[in-house]
Amino acid sequence: MDKKDLRIVFMGTPEFAVGSLRRLVEGGYNVVGVVTQPDRPVGRHQNTLQPSEVKEYAVANNIPVLQPVKMKDATFLEQLRQWRADLQVVVAFRMLPEAVWAMPRWGTFNVHAALLPQYRGAAPINWAVINGETETGVTTFFLDKDIDTGRIIAQKHFPIPDDANVEYVYDGLMKLGADICIETVDKILTSDGHIESIDQSEIVGQTGTELKPAPKIFKETCRINWDQPAKKVYDFVRGLSPYPCAWTKLSDGNTLKIIESQKTGQATDGRRPGEIREQKGRLFIACADQWLEIGQLQLSGKKRMDARSFLNGNHEIDRLMAQ
């Protein structure tokens, strides 16, 4: 079969997925339709509908779009069936019911932003950085009944520098994800749908390592615990930067988001975790073992700023505690 005859349905929503969709379209593959989330209300009064990045690309390239509210809706399933997909490709989308992922004759594969079986879940990039990993990657795998547990097709590795935040890793994995997406489709096509894959239980059995999850990030997830070593707090901050941002409560009741920080290697000499210190225009907060220097931050109701600007407007900073 020629790639122009391979009928592909693409499923995804955010910018992360657009790179893979673009590579398929520009690579000459026959993307017959796109499935994405419904338009999202935005604006002060929530009266403006914002389409997803995937929808914007699809519409610009005259690709039909479906936006189901419920994936098991009978009307949606019939519309999807009419596209007669040979293969479905999923990148950064929601969990699919079997009625959807089992529909194409060659199945449905997902591009996941982690080296499965590690970091199954909704926020693999964040958790890899939060946990101080030095390496992550992307995985393609066939969907099955559980979340991120299907048979692995291919993987690519990506190093995480010690000073990298989520934005850096996100951008790198977005490009790598597009690469592995195309390579996986090519392999499926050349094998006439009989591509080799590996059961994830085999990998778990070989490594014997504990699996680390990647659950969805909520606001409370992002609160800093200053009773931890500075390295863990540092990784936590960069694992949530530039969005949604790690935060702490100040003793005056204000919320302070920490966007950038830096390890100092300087012992706190018994200072209480959360104690704030200003020194020559630089801002430090005590962790369990060392001082962490704060670079970029944002006080509730204010714009993002560097530490010096923040200190210029807060002359009694030494009286505050981060909690």
Q: How sure is the predictor about 203, in pLDDT bands with cuts at 50, 70 and 90?
A: confident
Query: Would the pLDDT of 205 be above 90?
Result: no
Residue 132's CB is within 10 A of a number of other CB atoms, namely 15
CB 157 within 8 A of CB 135: yes
Query: Would the pLDDT of 210 be above 90?
Result: no
How far, in Å, CA of 140 to CA of 24, rounded?
15
Query: Would the pLDDT of 250 be above 80?
Result: yes
CB 108 within 8 A of CB 143: yes
Query: Would the pLDDT of 59 be above 90?
Result: yes
Of 59-73, 199-213, 296-310, where does mean pLDDT reach its minimum? Answer: 199-213
- Counting DSSP H helices and E strands in the chain, the numbers are 9, 17
Query: Would the pLDDT of 317 be above 90?
Result: no
Output the pLDDT for position 314.
74
What does DSSP assign to residue 13? -
Q: How sure is the predictor about 48, in pLDDT bands with cuts at 50, 70 and 90?
A: confident
Query: Would the pLDDT of 86 be above 80?
Result: yes
pLDDT tens column, 260-274? 999 999 999 889 999
What does DSSP assign to residue 322? B
Span 87-97, average pLDDT: 97
Strand partners, 292: 263, 285
How far, in Å, CA of 217 to CA of 198, rounded?
29
Q: How many CA atoms within 13 Å lie on the side-chain side of 226?
A: 23
Strand partners, 72: none
Span 83-88, average pLDDT: 98
How far, in Å, CA of 172 to CA of 158, rounded?
8
pLDDT tens column, 127-175? 999 999 999 999 999 999 999 999 999 999 999 999 999 999 999 999 9
Element (H, E) at 262: strand 261-267
Span 34-63, average pLDDT: 91
Q: CA angle, 173 as apex, 20 and 224 as ends, to 5°?
A: 130
Positive or negative torsion for Cα 215, 218, 220, 225: positive
Share of the chain above pLDDT 70, in %: 98
Residue type, 290: Q
